[in-house]
Structure formats: C-alpha cells, structure tokens
Amino acid sequence: MAKTTKSAPRAKAEARPTEAATKNIEAGMEQMADIASKFSGYTEDGVKALKDSAALSTETIREISSRNMSFMTQAMEQGVELTQALASARDPREMLQIQSGYAKSMFSAYTAEMTAQAELCMGAWREAAKPFMMRLAK
C-alpha cells in the first residue's frame, strides 16, 4: 500500500480559514477598541458631571441649611411670643384663640418652607442630571 501525499492543497485550504479567522479577529479587536474608546469618553464625561453636580449639591445643601436655621430662629421667636401672650391671657377662651392662631400660622409657615426646600432639591436634581441625560441622548 503506497501512501500518496497531498499536503500542498491541504496547506492552501488551511491557510484560507486562518486568514479569514485572523481578519475576523482583527475586526473584532477594532470593534472592542472602538467600544473601549466610547466607554472611556462616557467615563470622563461622567466624572466631570459628577464633580459639577457635587459642587451644585454643596451649594443647595448650604442654602437649605441656612433656610432651616432661619426657620428655626423664627419659630423660636414666635414660641417666646406665644408664651408671653398666653401668660397675659385673661381666660381660657382667649388662650385657646391664641394657641389656635399660633398653630395655624406655624403650620402655614412650615408648609411654605417645606415646599420651597422641595423645589430647591428638585432644581438641584434636575441640574445634576442634565449632563447625564444629555450624554444618554447622544
């Protein structure tokens, strides 16, 4: 039994799939590099947006803290005035009217302050989210 060797055609057949595989691998690597480049851009933009929103958040927190201190100071002053008014009341009916007026005024002031602070927080959130939303829209 004599063996015949046909190694030349087989070598060409193996070379073609290897070249095709190499081209596919190179194309895949280019796609991966493109994805990595885009991801790097997203990361850089995200870090910058995070830094900007942190600065904005700090300002919002300062403003809210300032408003809280002002509100508490005002509430304490009104509490002292309430105590003085109650001490000078002549009958229980007058005391009830004074307390009722104080409760209404404090509830109104508290509601207005919480609404204003909620608007501050929502505004800060919108500003902080803008860079991220713009980047996602691209």
Q: Residue 111 has what pLDDT? A: 96
Measured over the CA atoms of residue 118, residue 121, residue 123 and residue 125, the dihedral's sign is negative
Q: What is the pLDDT of residues 48-78, one digit of tens each?
A: 777 777 777 788 889 999 999 999 999 999 9
Residue 99 token pair: 């307390």
Q: Residue 63 has what pLDDT? A: 92
- The Cα 24–Cα 12 span in angstroms is 19
- Percentage of the chain surpassing pLDDT 70? 83
Whether residue 101 is contained in a domain is answered as yes
Q: What is the pLDDT of residues 8-54, one digit of tens each?
A: 555 555 556 677 778 888 888 888 888 877 777 777 777 777 777 77
Residue bearing the bigger pLDDT, 28 or 86: 86
Whether residue 137 is contained in a domain is answered as yes
Whether residue 39 is contained in a domain is answered as no
Whether residue 26 is contained in a domain is answered as no
- Please state the φ and ψ torsions of residue 6, each to the nearest 5 degrees: -120, 55
Q: Which of helix, strand or coil describes residue 31?
A: helix
Q: Does the reported pTM lie above 0.75? A: no
Residue 3 in this model has a pLDDT that exceeds 70:
no
Tell me the CA end-to-end span of the chain in Å, nearest whole number.
Answer: 70
Work out the average pLDDT over 115-122.
93
The amino acid at residue 133 is: M
Whether residue 19 is contained in a domain is answered as no
Whether residue 32 is contained in a domain is answered as no
Whether residue 35 is contained in a domain is answered as no
- The Cα 86–Cα 92 span in angstroms is 9
Whether residue 34 is contained in a domain is answered as no
- Number of separate domains in the chain: 1
Structural domain range at position 74? 47-138
